[in-house]
Amino acid sequence: MLTNSPQSQDGRSTAAAGDGALGARILTMADRLAQFSEIPDGLTCTFMTPAHRATAAEIRNLMNAAGATAHIDVVGNVVGRYANARPDAGTLIVGSHYDTVRNAGKYDGRLGILTGIVAAEELRRRNVALPFHLDVIGFSEEEGVRFSAPYLGSAAIAGRFDAGMLKRRDANGQSLAEVLRESGGTAETITAVARRDKLVGYVEVHIEQGPVLLHENLPVGVVTGIAGFARRRVTVRGVAGHAGAVPMSLRHDAAAAAAEIISMVEQRCSQVPGLRGTVGQLQVPAGAINVIPALCELSLDIRSDNAGELEKALGDIAARIEAIATRRGVSVEIEKVAELPPVLCTPRLRDALGRAVARQRLAVRSLVSGPGHDAVMFDGITDVGMLFVRCGNGGISHSPLETITADDADMGVRVLLDFLTNYEVRP
């Protein structure tokens, strides 16, 4: 099945030499990509901007230099194929995204693409033949920043692109359809991007975006599942009044009701391990220092890897919001913004990644991903697996403070190489 693969004493193929060189190469490549930005003093790379297109071209160059046959599709995905000799062989995808949030770090998403490129380059250097085509994919859009539509790139590859998204407009009023038309993207050509070849798996390497591995002093961890989420927009309407004239007992304060809602969400979600509740946006439109707020708007983001717990929490929170509103004499509107169910990583892939970690003489740490990833688009399409790499600096991500060490990046490549050279494709 494999050729010219270095062997350990027990006969299993081993990964890279472990001197940190592969990890250092990843960090250098990440610096190279970070030069393409929409802002002069930081990294912002949103969908189909000039910086985004330049980043895609550079990723294609890196793939070609590593021995891939690479192209950019109509959605902006960069696809590099390291082909098997048999055209009818199955395909394993290693991928992540290259778009960023505003004022981002250099490794969220991009670490997975670069790890795939460096791993494939190392396989080529060692003349290792895998029993499948290896496609390393840089997905064009995962964050949903420009059009409030996440997973555009991976959804297209997975055959789950929603043509209704083409009507979405950015802050300048330009539609997604207009932007994609520049690269030949239409509903028909986007549909053609969907994979119809035999997929044997999808693996994503990603910076953890949290402090668990850092706290436990582990370079990598195996993801067991990706939390589902439900996002809501809550509007609280009360009655305005003079701050000095209306007694506390007679007030219908929209902001005070919102504050109680926030505290309730925190308390409810703290009761269940793995449940997360966040109010990330809070506004008092037209608020004044001496006026009782008549209007307050807030967001809700509820997450769990357990679909039952997520549904139960949503029901409880909605009921408690209604009780707060009744008691305080305010009205509340709850608008659904977005929802995705949890995704559990395939046991077969999860276990294979765990064995690859163990062969590096590391403890196998299993953990749930709270953030979403491109991997969710492949749930039900093929087997799904994820590997987390330790995030430094307290686990800060989505920030210029995001860090990773060359040694940890190197370990990520070593685990991926070990996985790729030992993964057995089912008949």
- Cα gap 422→424, rounded to integer Å: 6
* Mean of the per-residue pLDDT values of the chain: 94
Dist CA 240 CA 228 (whole Å): 38
pLDDT score of 18:
54
The pLDDT of residue 349: 97
Residue 212 — φ and ψ, nearest 5°?
-65, -55
Across 266-288, average pLDDT: 96
Confidence category of residue 9, pLDDT binned at 50, 70, 90: very low
Residue 43: left if φ>0, alpha if ψ -120 to 50, beta else—which one? beta
Longest dimension (CA), the chain: 84
Give the sign of the dihedral formed by CA 264, CA 244, CA 295, CA 171: negative
12 CA to centre of own chain: 32
Q: Which residues of 169-181 are buried (b: 16+ CB within 10 A; e: fewer)?
A: ebeeeeebbebbe
One CATH from 3.40.50.720, 3.30.70.360, 3.10.105.10, 1.10.10.10 for 228-340: 3.30.70.360
Task: Please check whether residue 219 is in contact with residue 387, taking contact to mean a CB–CB distance below 8 angstroms.
Answer: no
Does the structure show a pLDDT above 80 at 12? no
Here the tokens at position 83 are: 């082909």
Mean pLDDT across 288-303: 97
The segment(s) of the chain belonging to CATH 3.40.630.10 are 21-226+342-422
Residue 117 carries which side chain, given as an amino acid letter?
I
Q: Are 182 and 49 in contact (CB under 8 A)?
A: no
d(CA 135, CA 149): 25
Q: Confidence class of residue 1 from pLDDT cuts 50, 70 and 90?
A: very low
Q: What pLDDT digit, counting tens, does each position of 416-426 carry? A: 999 999 999 88
Residue 422: left (phi > 0), alpha (psi -120 to 50), or beta?
alpha
Classify residue 131 as left (phi > 0), alpha (psi -120 to 50) or beta: alpha
Residues of each domain in the chain carrying CATH 3.30.70.360:
228-340
Helices (H), 38-175: 50-65, 110-125, 152-158
Q: Which two tokens stand for residue 293?
A: 């707020």
Q: Mind listing the pLDDT tens digit for each residue in 365-415?
A: 999 999 999 999 999 999 999 999 999 999 999 999 999 999 999 999 999
The pLDDT of 26-40, averaged and rounded, is 97
- Per DSSP, helices labelled H in 299-401 are 307-328, 347-358
DSSP state of 198: -
CA proximity to 322, closest of 234, 229, 232: 234
According to CATH, the topology of domain 21-226+342-422 is Aminopeptidase (3.40.630)
Q: Given the structure tokens 């294979």, which residue do they identify? A: 352
Structure tokens at 187: 């509903």
User: Across residues 266-295, what is the average pLDDT?
Assistant: 96
Where is 387: in which H helix or E strand? strand 384-389
The tokens for 41 are 């003093």
Whether residue 178 is predicted with pLDDT greater than 70 in this model: the reply is yes
Contact 256, 406 (CB under 8 A): no
CB atoms within 10 A of CB 339: 13
CA distances to 108, 190, 396, 404 from 105, in Å = 6, 29, 9, 10
Rounded to whole angstroms, the Cα distance separating 280 from 324 reads 20
In the beta sheet, which residues pair with residue 71?
Answer: 79
The pTM for the full model equals 0.87
- Tell me the average pLDDT across 71-99: 97
pLDDT at 110 over 60: yes
Using alpha carbons only, give the angle 417, 66, 24 rounded to the nearest 5 degrees.
65
User: Which tokens sit at 133?
Assistant: 């085509």
Are the beta carbons of 94 and 76 closer than 8 angstroms?
no
Question: Which of 7-21, 271-285, 317-331 is the least confident region?
Answer: 7-21
Residues 148-167 have pLDDT tens digits of: 889 999 999 999 999 999 99
- pLDDT for res 6: 36
CA–CA dist 330, 247 (Å, integer): 16
Three-state SS annotation for 98-124: CCCCCCCCCCCCHHHHHHHHHHHHHHH
The owner of tokens 């350990």 is 8
DSSP character string of 258-278: HHHHHHHHHHHHTTSTT-EEE
**Residues 118, 125 contacting (CB under 8 angstroms):** no
H helix runs in 140-183, sequence order: 152-158, 176-181
Write the pLDDT tens digit of every residue in 206-247: 999 999 999 999 999 999 999 999 999 999 999 999 999 999
Write the CB contacts of 403 (distance below 8 Å, at least 6 apart in sequence). Answer: 105, 107, 391, 392, 393, 396
Q: What is the mean pLDDT of residues 94-100?
A: 98
Q: What is the residue type of 346?
A: T
